C-alpha cells in the first residue's frame, strides 16, 4: 500500500500486539455484562406476567427512565436488558474513545509517532490503524452480545437490535474522537473534548427520556446515546438507527483526516493556553505538582459525581413505590442484598456501581506516573533533589485522596437529596457511611495499579482488565450462579451491605492492609528499576 495509507498493515499489527490483552478483556467484560445480567434477570422474571408486574411501576417513573433509558416493551426480554442498554452503550463508546486516543494523540504527544513517521508510513496510516482497531472492538462487543443473548433463547430480532444500540453509540463516539484528537494538542485535551461530548449527549438523552413529547423529548434524536435507547430492543427494534451512528462515524473520520492534512505534527487546531511565567509555591514539591496536574480531572469527576448523586437521591422517591411489588423487590435484593428497607437495598446496589467508577478514576490517576515517565516529566523531576520514593508516593497519595473525596462528595449529595425526595430515605450519616465503606476495595485496586506501574510499567494497563474482571465477578457473579470462590476474587464481593446491614470491619481492614502492601511493593520496585 502506498501514498497516505502506506504502512497501514504494519501499524495494524503493532496496534493489535499492544492491545492484545486490553481489547479482548474489555470486549469479554462487555459481553459478560449483557449476557450475565440478562440471564440473571430472566431467572427472576421467567414469564411475561411477572415481567409486566415488575415493569409496571418503572414505566410510570420518569426518574428511572431518565437514568437507564426508555423501556422497550413490557415483557421479560425487555426487562432483561433494561439496565444494560444504556450502561453498555456508554461503556462501548468509552472503549472506542480510548483506543482511538491511545493510538493517535498519545503516540504523537509522547514522540513515538514522529519516529514512526520518519519511515515509510503515510500521513493517514496511524489514524486509520487506530480507527480499524476501535471499530473492530465496538463491532465485536456488539456482535458477541447479540449472539449471547440469542443463545439464552431471547428473541433473535430483539437481540440484533440490542447489538445495534451498542454499535450505534460506539461507532458514533469513534467518529467524534477521530476529530477530537486532531483538534486538541494533548492527550488530556482530546480526552476532555471526547468525554465532554459523551457527557453532554448523556444529559441530553436523560432530559429527553424523562418527558413524553414536546421539544425536550425531541432532543433525544440529537444524541447518539439517545439513538441507542430509541432502537428499543425487544420492542420496536429500529435497526435503521444504526445508520445514524454510521453517518457520525463517517463524518467524524472525514473531518479528522481533513484536519490531519492541514495541521503540523504534534500540534492541534485549538490553541493551547500558556501558563504563568513562574510557578507558584505549590509546585515546589512532587505532591503539589502532581496535584496541580490532576486538578482538571478531579474537578470534572466532582461535577459528574454531584450530578449523579442528585439523580440517585431523587430516584429514592420512586423506590418506595416498589415496596408492594414482589418481583421488583426480589430483583433489587439480587443486586444489593436483603438487609434493611427497600431504599437501603437500592442504595447498596448503586453504591457498588459508583465504587467501580471511582476505582477507575483512581487507577487513571496512578497510571499518570507511567505517562510522566514516557513524556520525560519524571526524568526532569528526578534530576532535582527529589527522590523516587517521593515522586511515586505523590501519585499514589493523589489517587487515594481523590477517590476518598469523590466518595465523600457523592455520599453527601445523595444523603442530602435523598431525604428531600423521600421521607423513608436513609439518613445522611447512614448514606455517607455506605459510600465511604467502599473505599478499601477502591484502594485495593489503586494498590494493584501502583504495583504494576512501579514494577513493570508496560503491564500497567492490565489494571483496567483487573477492574473489569472485578466488576463482573463482584456485581454479576452472585446472580450468575458462579462458584463462591470465584466471586470472592473480586474486592467488590466483600463490601458491606450498607446502609441497611452491618459494616464488614474485618474485610475492610484486610483489603486496606493488602492495598498498603501492594503500594509498598510497588514503591520498592520503582526504586530499583530503570526509569525511562
Segment 140-157 shows an average pLDDT of 93
**Half-sphere CA count of 223, side-chain side, radius 13 A:** 28
What pLDDT, on a 0 to 100 scale, did the predictor assign at position 482?
Answer: 66
Whether 339 shows a pLDDT value over 80: the answer reads: no
Look at residue 278 and tell me if it is in a domain: no
Whether 523 shows a pLDDT value over 80: the answer reads: yes
What pLDDT, on a 0 to 100 scale, did the predictor assign at position 366?
Answer: 94
Angle at 190 between CA 196 and CA 178, to 5 degrees: 95
pLDDT higher at 62 or 399: 399
Let me know whether 340 and 309 are in one domain. Answer: yes
Residue 328 in grid coordinates = 421488583
Of 89, 261, 230, 96, the residue nearest 175 (C-alpha) = 96
Give the lowest-confidence range in 284-288, 370-374, 470-474: 470-474
Look at residue 273 and tell me if it is in a domain: no
Q: How many Å apart are CA 366 and CA 409, to the nearest integer? A: 21
Give the lowest-confidence range in 79-93, 270-284, 360-374, 450-464: 270-284
Look at residue 439 and tell me if it is in a domain: yes
DSSP letter string, 63-86: HHHHHH-----SSHHHHHTTTHHH
Let me know whether 259 and 334 are in one domain. Answer: no
For cell 482538571, the residue is: 296
Look at residue 176 and tell me if it is in a domain: yes
Orientation angle between helical segments 388-421 and 286-293, nearest 10 degrees = 50
Look at residue 464 and tell me if it is in a domain: yes
DSSP code at position 475: I
Q: How confident is the model at residue 244 (pLDDT cuts 50, 70, 90)?
A: very high
Look at residue 275 and tell me if it is in a domain: no
Let me know whether 119 and 235 are in one domain. Answer: yes
What pLDDT, on a 0 to 100 scale, did the predictor assign at position 105?
Answer: 87
Let me know whether 315 and 371 are in one domain. Answer: yes
Among 233, 267, 301, the domain boundary falls at: 267
Q: How confident is the model at residue 216 (pLDDT cuts 50, 70, 90)?
A: confident
What pLDDT, on a 0 to 100 scale, did the predictor assign at position 209?
Answer: 81
SS3 20: coil
485-516 pLDDT, tens per residue? 777 778 888 887 878 778 888 999 999 999 99
Give the sign of the dihedral formed by CA 117, CA 121, CA 127, CA 131: negative
190-208 pLDDT, tens per residue? 888 888 888 888 888 888 8
What pLDDT, on a 0 to 100 scale, did the predictor assign at position 176?
Answer: 95
Q: Give the number of domains in the chain.
A: 2
What pLDDT, on a 0 to 100 scale, did the predictor assign at position 438?
Answer: 92
Q: How confident is the model at residue 478 (pLDDT cuts 50, 70, 90)?
A: low
Q: What is the domain range of residue 223?
A: 1-267
Among 242, 267, 292, the domain boundary falls at: 267
pLDDT higher at 501 or 152: 152
What pLDDT, on a 0 to 100 scale, did the predictor assign at position 477?
Answer: 65
Segment 333-347 shows an average pLDDT of 65
Let me know whether 99 and 230 are in one domain. Answer: yes
Whether 268 shows a pLDDT value over 90: the answer reads: no
Of 324, 323, 315, 317, the residue nearest 340 (C-alpha) = 323
245-264 pLDDT, tens per residue? 999 999 999 999 999 888 87
Task: Give me the percent of the chain exceeding a pLDDT of 90.
Answer: 31
Q: How many Å apart are CA 168 and CA 265, to the nearest integer? A: 31
Among 267, 295, 323, the domain boundary falls at: 267
Give the lowest-confidence range in 251-255, 281-285, 371-375: 281-285
What pLDDT, on a 0 to 100 scale, did the predictor assign at position 8?
Answer: 85
For cell 441507542, the residue is: 228
Residue 444 in grid coordinates = 485495593
- Judging by beta carbons within 10 Å of its beta carbon (0-12, 13-18, 19+), is residue 86 exposed, middle or buried? buried
The predicted model scores a pTM of: 0.82
Let me know whether 480 and 406 are in one domain. Answer: yes
Look at residue 124 and tell me if it is in a domain: yes
374-432 pLDDT, tens per residue? 777 877 887 888 888 899 999 999 999 999 999 999 999 999 988 888 888 888 888 99
Beta strand residue intervals within 400-455, DSSP E: none
Let me know whether 349 and 201 are in one domain. Answer: no
Look at residue 276 and tell me if it is in a domain: no
Amino acid at each position: 500500500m502506498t501514498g497516505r495509507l502506506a504502512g497501514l498493515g504494519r501499524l495494524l499489527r503493532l496496534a493489535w500486539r499492544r492491545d492484545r490483552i486490553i481489547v479482548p478483556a474489555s470486549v469479554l467484560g462487555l459481553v459478560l455484562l449483557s449476557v450475565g445480567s440478562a440471564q440473571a434477570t430472566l431467572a427472576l422474571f421467567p414469564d411475561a406476567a411477572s415481567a409486566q408486574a415488575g415493569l409496571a411501576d418503572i414505566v410510570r417513573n420518569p426518574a428511572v427512565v431518565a437514568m437507564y433509558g426508555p423501556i422497550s416493551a413490557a415483557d421479560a426480554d425487555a426487562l432483561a436488558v433494561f439496565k444494560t442498554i444504556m450502561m453498555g452503550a456508554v461503556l462501548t463508546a468509552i472503549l472506542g474513545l480510548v483506543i482511538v486516543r491511545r493510538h493517535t494523540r498519545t503516540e504523537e504527544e509522547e514522540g513515538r509517532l514522529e519516529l514512526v513517521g520518519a519511515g515509510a508510513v503515510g500521513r493517514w496510516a496511524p489514524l486509520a490503524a487506530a480507527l480499524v482497531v476501535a471499530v473492530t472492538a465496538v463491532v465485536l462487543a456488539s456482535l458477541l452480545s447479540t449472539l449471547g443473548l440469542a443463545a439464552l433463547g431471547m428473541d433473535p430480532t430483539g437481540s440484533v437490535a440490542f447489538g445495534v444500540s451498542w454499535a450505534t453509540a460506539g461507532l458514533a463516539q469513534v467518529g467524534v474522537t477521530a476529530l477530537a484528537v486532531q483538534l486538541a494538542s494533548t492527550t488530556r485535551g482530546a480526552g476532555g473534548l471526547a468525554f465532554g461530548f459523551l457527557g453532554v449527549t448523556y444529559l441530553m438523552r436523560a432530559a429527553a427520556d424523562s418527558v413524553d413529547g414536546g421539544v425536550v423529548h425531541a432532543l433525544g434524536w440529537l444524541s447518539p446515546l439517545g439513538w441507542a435507547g430509541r432502537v428499543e430492543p425487544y420492542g420496536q427494534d429500529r435497526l435503521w438507527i444504526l445508520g445514524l451512528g454510521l453517518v457520525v462515524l463517517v463524518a467524524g473520520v472525514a473531518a479528522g483526516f481533513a484536519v490531519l492534512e492541514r495541521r503540523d505534527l504534534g500540534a492541534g487546531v485549538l490553541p493551547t493556553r500558556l501558563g504563568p511565567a513562574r510557578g507558584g509555591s505549590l509546585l515546589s514539591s512532587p505532591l503539589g505538582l502532581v496535584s496541580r496536574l490532576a486538578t482538571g480531572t478531579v474537578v470534572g469527576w466532582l461535577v459528574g459525581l454531584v450530578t449523579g448523586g442528585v439523580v440517585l437521591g431523587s430516584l429514592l422517591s420512586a423506590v418506595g413505590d416498589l415496596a408492594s411489588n414482589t418481583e421488583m423487590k426480589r430483583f433489587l435484593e439480587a443486586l444489593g442484598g436483603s438487609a434493611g428497607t427497600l431504599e437501603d437495598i437500592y442504595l447498596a446496589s448503586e453504591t457498588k456501581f459508583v465504587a467501580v467508577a471511582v476505582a477507575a478514576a483512581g487507577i487513571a490517576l496512578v497510571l499518570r506516573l507511567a505517562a510522566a515517565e514516557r513524556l520525560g516529566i519524571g526524568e526532569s523531576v528526578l534530576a532535582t533533589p527529589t527522590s523516587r520514593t517521593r515522586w511515586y508516593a505523590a501519585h499514589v497519595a493523589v489517587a487515594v485522596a481523590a477517590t476518598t473525596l469523590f466518595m465523600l462528595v457523592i455520599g453527601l449529595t445523595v444523603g442530602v437529596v435523598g431525604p428531600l425526595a423521600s421521607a423513608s430515605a436513609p439518613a445522611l450519616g447512614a448514606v455517607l457511611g455506605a459510600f465511604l465503606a467502599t473505599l478499601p476495595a477502591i484502594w485495593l485496586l489503586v494498590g494493584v495499579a501502583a504495583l504494576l506501574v512501579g514494577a513493570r510499567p508496560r503491564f500497567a494497563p492490565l489494571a483496567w482488565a483487573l477492574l473489569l474482571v472485578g466488576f463482573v465477578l463482584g456485581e454479576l457473579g452472585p446472580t450468575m450462579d458462579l462458584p463462591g470462590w470465584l466471586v470472592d476474587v473480586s474486592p467488590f464481593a466483600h463490601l458491606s451491605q450498607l446502609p441497611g446491614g452491618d459494616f464488614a470491619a474485618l474485610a475492610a481492614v484486610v483489603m486496606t492492609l493488602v492495598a498498603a502492601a501492594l503500594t509498598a511493593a510497588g514503591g520498592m520496585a520503582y526504586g530499583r528499576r530503570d526509569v525511562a
